[in-house]
């Protein structure tokens, strides 16, 4: 599998301690209905098209080497995604960035060079690098190589994972990881399969191993109204975390949002939760109180 990066986002304050640079890798074994980064699910490079930025000039169709773009004057270009190879020629030709390429090949040196530029901000805030996705642990050797380089220069390392990866991936990366963000979505295996495309057996097994590893860990749960905010799931989540040490018995709630909706349209996918509203402050407070009463240290992501 190629190591493809969709984005390197600097000055993030929501993906681990301090100010961080987040590296988004492409490819994920899950297909969560609420995913805010749908461009990271496929392992292949793909283009995104944003109509609001398009001037209908037609240059993209003229330059496409695979005939994947067609254009009629006065209309938006049409993309044949079966023919598109994700070469990125069209995105390079688009002066208005209406077409973007999701998935740029980068090796450990490339990533480290990009991340190390902000080292002064990490030192001042206790931040560092966070590798996310998609599923970052689908690229365990790449992440390990990057983390080794970061460790040598004092850059804090963090990985965000769904846990749906072979145990060997965890073993490869954890020795070079300072902080772990671990997502728990649904505790019921059948509901997990329904809403993410996979059972959670592997997720839960790896969660236990991660919690016992000695690496600082923060479990996180995207709170999706009508899907995982019911009392039974909250109780099952609290019971699951209750089996860990005090330091691992922490859960950050990430309220559902629709910020990724436009990206679904850009890559030709249907956003299945288009009509769903985010949880209200009252609902979030209720969830936090319930988990707190169950012995879980709970915070709400802002």
264 with 191, same domain?
yes
58 with 112, same domain?
no
Predicted confidence band at 2 (pLDDT cuts at 50, 70, 90)?
confident
pLDDT in tens, 72-120: 999 999 999 999 999 999 999 999 999 999 999 999 999 999 999 999 9
Q: Say yes or no to pLDDT of 50 above 90.
A: yes
Q: What is the domain-level CATH number for residue 126?
A: 3.20.20.70
At 21 the pLDDT is: 98
pLDDT in tens, 216-239: 999 999 999 999 999 999 999 999
Range of the domain at 93: 46-102
CA dihedral 136, 137, 142, 146 (to 10 degrees): 70
Closest alpha carbon to 49 in 103, 82, 98: 98
pLDDT in tens, 131-168: 999 999 999 999 999 999 999 999 999 999 999 999 99
Backbone φ and ψ for 201, nearest 5 degrees, come out as -55, -50
Q: Say yes or no to pLDDT of 1 above 80.
A: no
242 with 294, same domain?
yes
Mean pLDDT on 3-10:
96
226 with 272, same domain?
yes
* Cβ–Cβ under 8 Å, residues 296 and 184: no
75 with 131, same domain?
no
C-alpha distances out from residue 89 to 57, 60, 68, 157, Å: 15, 8, 11, 34
Rounded Cα distance, 11 and 245, in Å: 31
Mean pLDDT on 251-266:
95
At 117 the pLDDT is: 95
Rounded Cα distance, 164 and 100, in Å: 28
- Domain total for the chain? 2
68 with 32, same domain?
no
Q: Say yes or no to pLDDT of 33 above 70.
A: yes
175 with 291, same domain?
yes
159 with 257, same domain?
yes
39 with 52, same domain?
no
């Amino acid at each position: 599998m190629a190591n493809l990066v969709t984005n390197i986002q600097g000055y993030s304050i929501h993906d681990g301690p301090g100010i961080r640079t987040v590296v988004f890798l492409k490819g994920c074994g899950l297909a969560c209905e609420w995913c805010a980064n749908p461009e990271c699910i496929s392992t292949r490079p793909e283009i995104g098209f944003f109509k609001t930025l398009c001037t209908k000039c037609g240059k993209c169709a003229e330059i496409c080497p695979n005939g994947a773009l067609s254009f009629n004057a006065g209309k938006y270009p049409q993309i044949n995604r079966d023919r598109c190879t994700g070469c990125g020629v069209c995105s390079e030709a688009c002066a208005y960035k209406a077409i973007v390429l999701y998935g740029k090949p980068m090796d450990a040196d490339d990533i480290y060079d990009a991340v190390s530029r902000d080292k002064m901000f990490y030192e001042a805030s206790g931040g560092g690098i966070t590798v996310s996705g998609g599923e970052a642990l689908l690229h365990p050797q790449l992440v390990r190589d990057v983390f080794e380089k970061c460790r040598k220069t004092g850059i804090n390392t963090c990985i965000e994972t769904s846990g749906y990866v072979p145990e060997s991936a965890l073993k490869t990366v954890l020795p070079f990881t300072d902080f772990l963000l671990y997502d728990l979505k649904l505790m019921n295996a059948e509901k997990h399969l329904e809403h993410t495309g996979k059972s959670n057996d592997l997720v839960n097994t790896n969660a236990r191993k991660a919690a016992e590893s000695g690496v600082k860990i923060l479990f996180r749960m995207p709170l999706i109204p009508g899907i995982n905010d019911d009392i039974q799931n909250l109780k099952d989540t609290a019971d699951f975390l209750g089996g860990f040490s005090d330091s691992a018995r922490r859960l950050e709630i990430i309220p559902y949002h629709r910020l990724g909706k436009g990206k679904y349209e850009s890559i030709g996918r249907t956003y299945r939760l288009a009509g769903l509203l985010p949880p209200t402050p009252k609902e979030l407070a209720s969830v936090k109180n319930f988990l707190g009463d169950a012995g879980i240290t709970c915070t709400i992501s802002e």
